[in-house]
Chain A
Amino acid sequence: AQRVTQPEKLLSVFKGAPVELKCNYSYSGSPELFWYVQYSRQRLQLLLRHISRESIKGFTADLNKGETSFHLKKPFAQEEDSAMYYCALDGQGFSFIFGKGTRLLVKP
């Protein structure tokens, strides 16, 4: 079965603190994983993807196949990072699986 799990519904941190948004997946095969972000009143947009190995807005994510995880990290949170974050998996066939999302709240 293919599945994406985000265990935290809400993550609240203070500005300048490190952030880690957790994502675990279940997939038989070589996974392609993504993080999408939805800022208030805006449409979903891609933050980063495993295949590109990039850092966007200070965020990074490393695929750990042993732990089946793709956690999103940022060393110093900013208030403008407050948003809804979704981990997603490019699934079998052409399906696409999203996690339930984690709301990140960065307090001043």
Chain B
Amino acid sequence: EAQVTQNPRYLITVTGKKLTVTCSQNMNHEYMSWYRQDPGLGLRQIYYSMNVEVTDKGDVPEGYKVSRKEKRNFPLILESPSPNQTSLYFCASSFRDRGREQYFGPGTRLTVT
């Protein structure tokens, strides 16, 4: 089944403890992206990747890192999480053409205390 998977789905952690949220897709998509969803703010793009080893900042990249070593994986790294990074995170993937449909993962709910 074609899909985007994220792990973990739920995570509660403490300030400053490094964490990684994994994202994987099996559709051979070149483009992958991370978003955070907050009430009243909608979805905001954190980082995106056009292909392996090519990444760029979205609207809210501060406090996050990404890497794209393989086409199918695009992990999101929080080196020193803070409470303002408590949010619902979505990974998405698509082909690179304009007008492309993005396929979303199920979301990861992160709470930083």
A positions within 8 Å CB-CB of B? 6, 9, 32, 34, 36, 43-46, 49-52, 86, 90, 93-101
Contacts and interface: CB of A to CB of B under 8 A. Distances in A.
Interface string B83-113: 0000000101000101111101111000000
B45 A96 contact: yes
Contact of B101 (A46, A93, A95): A46
Interface residues of B, number: 26
Contacts of B56: 93-95
Given A43-B104, A46-B101, A100 B40 contact: yes
A98 B48 CA distance: 14
Contacts of B50: 94
B102 A46 contact: yes
B48 A95 contact: yes
B42 A96 contact: no
Nearest to B49: A94
A76 B86 CA distance: 38
A93 B48 CA distance: 10
B47 to A, nearest CB: 10
Nearest to A52: B99
Contact of B106 (A43, A93, A94): A43
